[in-house]
Copies of this chain bind each other. A is one copy, B any other.
Amino acid sequence: MQNALRSYKANLFQALSHPTRIAIVELLRDGELCAGAIQEQLGIEQSNLSQHLAILRGRQVLANRKEGNQVFYSLRNPVLVEVLDIMRRYFQANLAEAVQMLDEIRSEPQAMAAESAKAEGS
């Protein structure tokens, strides 16, 4: 059960582990929006958005409501916004480390251990 709880958390985190999905959650913090409106705000492909919405829906992060031709999305639980706010404070409080982490992220993607390739001079 301890383990199930960890899987639950891990999956929730995974749902939020993509910038687009964070953006979606943030867009919805003040109320529901239909998919089209979200797409307009984010400026991404329709099917791409729809897949991200499907993930957030499946993970119970978002609720959806059909109205005629449109589907309105909203946050199921505002606690997530609270978490995101905490993260912003965390980011600001540790700006130096945060920037360092952003650098890591940029240099790391291709292979977790390309560290040795650091051309430290450039």
Chain A residues close to B by CB (< 8 Å): 3-14, 16-19, 21-23, 26, 51, 54-55, 58-60, 76-77, 79-80, 82-84, 86-91, 93-94, 97-98, 100-102, 104-105, 108, 112-113, 115
Contact = CB atoms under 8 A, between A and B. Distances in A.
B112 A9 contact: no
Contacts of A5: 88, 91
Contacts of A84: 9
Contacts of A86: 79, 82-83, 86
Nearest to A101: B60
A96 B84 CA distance: 23
A25 B14 CA distance: 16
